[in-house]
Structure 1
Amino acid sequence: MLDTIRELMRPPPGMAFDFSQPAGEPALAPRDGVAWRVFANPVVLFVGGVAAVLLELSEPSVRSGVWDHSGFRRDPRMRLRRTGFAAMMTVYGPRSAAEQMIARVVRMHARIEGCTPDGRPYRANDPRLLDWVQATAAFAFTQAYHHYVRPLSAAEKDAAFGEGEHAARLYGATGAPRSWAAWEALLAATTPGLEGSPILADFLRIVAEAPLAPAPLRPLQRLLVRAAVEIVPEPVRSLPQLRGRGLRPGEAALVRALARAVRLLPLGDTPSLQAARRLSASGARSRN
């Protein structure tokens, strides 16, 4: 399992990047902020990532854009690694590299458009859809950390949204929530348009059964998928495809123990450690 965790935290093939360079260049997210803590935990990354996608797939236009134009069904392992790398770059990468990566994503989004099964047109770079995607990601990763690692204060939850404001605007999400209250308001406003679909069930099946971990550890993978369902807010958690798919009695304590214990594992030279060296190098240089 340790090798699996290390692999999911490394850049995918062809996207190798040294987060320790250039010395001193800041990231989009502040080093002493909430995001740097949240994204350093691989259990939070997996659970929060699955929860975010469940929320995205509950919005019909986002669902069509994601499901029809991504490689998730063909190669879920690689898709997860690419998505994880984008998150790492946004949080830990030097600002210039993060901005270049986001610009590439925006250009790609400009080519993605289509219609939902009921005929509604959508564009991937529609600010309304981008606001939902950015908001659900900020919520899901923050809630995964709050629920399974350490409770966050109201101020820390607000900070988790505020720290992502610059990146959200670069993606085109000009109205993304900047606070927990703003997230709750967006969720309430979006709720009437959220719905279940067979795609939700397909996604849950894929992330539960895909060979992300060695076969003997597949039950642990399914446990983390249930942990993701558990933190999805209402009304999405009560959709037919998710109802009753959360954690079983006693499993929350197991997930918490795993999320806290993983911080002690030798994960190698992760992006968060490399980024810390990048900024520390600047401090050491300025003192000389």
Structure 2
Amino acid sequence: MGLTDVRERVRDALFARVAGPDGPSNRARIHGAPGPRWFAADSAIRRVHGDTAMFVGGLRALLLQSLHPLAMAAVAAHSGYRGDPWGRLQRTSTFLAVTTFGTAEDAERAVATVGAVHRRVRGTAADGRPYRADDPHLLRWVHIAEVDSFLRAHQRYGAHPLDEAGCDRYVAETAVIAEKLGVLEPPRTRDELDQALAAYRPELRGTAEARAAARFLLVTPPIPWAARVPYAVLAAAGVAMLPRWTRPQLRLPYLPVAEGTSVRLMAGVLVKSVRWAMSAPVPEA
């Protein structure tokens, strides 16, 4: 088996995991359908969401989001992340792809579908507080945790990190999608993003549900044995980028020397390798 064959096999295996069985048809529609898009080809959001650094950013986002007790209660009770983790990943990745790269018509349809799901998700957290997935305050938390994670991962591991103005453009462009999902006053600059995160800090803590989710993501993920080592590197990179105060909340170790050297080096090599594999030409259907 030649290097080209290995590259294509890795590309196909990763794409199948992330995009699911409908991935090829979705990809053809997202990138090939004619019509206006929400974002231009040279937009910051396309640069960030199209880079393999998103693998690290996605793991960080899930861990950070879990620290809001009401958001985590909704995920634990309604998302099916344990029973169908790959399905949840595939739905999320498809939503990101459609809203970032797809036609405006398809993007509007994807937002409407997510909004309909959110309106049905409601319940009571372990501390007795009610929650609704369409609560603008919770939607805002999920949004800013994602944007912060995706941007930080891109700036550290992305092929072409953004300059300061580009970071602000990315935050502003993600706000377009956030508002359509029901987020009120999403941040539009990196400074506003930092301020929004700080404002949520008093509400955040590690619940039993959050720690169980962290264990599932980091210790017992449902992945093949052959992928355990590279996954562990990506997971360690995601953890290393979390704020220090989150570690005791999720009962995660803090190893600054290892995280700043070996973890960062190995993750950088792995992200580049995944980028190389995923950039292999896709044969015409």
1:250 aligns with 2:262: yes
Aligned positions, number: 269
What do you get for the CA RMSD once the two structures are aligned? 2.5
Measured against aligned partners, the alpha-carbon deviations of 1:131-188 in whole angstroms (never above 9, x if no partner) come to: 1111111111111111122543221211111011221111001222111111111111
TM-score under structure 1 length normalisation: 0.84
Q: TM-score, normalised by structure 2?
A: 0.85
User: Which amino acid in the other structure matches residue 227 of structure 1?
Assistant: A
Structure 2: gaps of 5 or more residues: 1-9
Map 1:51-200 to 2 at 5 A.
51-149=60-158, 150-200=160-210
- Structure possessing the higher relative contact order (Cα contacts under 8 Å, 6 or more residues apart): 1
Q: Which range is displaced more, 239-248 or 229-238?
A: 239-248
Of residues 31, 37, 44, the one that matches 1:20 is 31
Kindly provide the CA deviation profile for residues 105-152 of structure 1, in whole angstroms up to 9, marking residues without a partner as x. 101111111111111111111111111111111111111111122543
1:94–1:245 distance in 2 versus 1, CA, 3 Å: farther
Alpha-carbon distance between aligned partners in 2 of 1:207 and 1:217, rounded to the nearest angstrom: 14
- Structure 2 CA distance for aligned equivalents of residues 168 and 15 of structure 1: 27
- CA contact 1:130–1:172 (8 Å) conserved in 2: yes
Q: Distance in 1 between matches of 2:144 and 2:165?
A: 17
| Equivalent residue, structure 2, for 1:224 | 234
1-structure distance, mates of 2:127, 2:211: 19
- 3-state SS of 1:164 partner: helix
Does the residue aligned with 2:120 lie in a helix, a strand or coil? coil
3-state SS, counterpart of residue 257 of structure 1? helix
> Residue 226 of structure 1 contacts residue 245 of structure 1 at CA under 8 Å; is this kept in 2?
no
Counterparts of 1:26 and 1:8 in 2: how far apart (Å)? 29
**Does the CA-based 8 Å contact 2:20-2:87 persist in structure 1?**
no
Q: After the TM superposition, which residues 17-56 of structure 1 pair with which residues of structure 2 at under 5 Å, given as runs?
A: 17=26, 18-23=29-34, 25-42=35-52, 44-56=53-65
Aligned residues: percent identity?
Answer: 29
Return 5+ residue gaps in structure 1 as ranges.
275-288
Q: Is the 8 A contact 1:76 1:207 kept in 2?
A: no
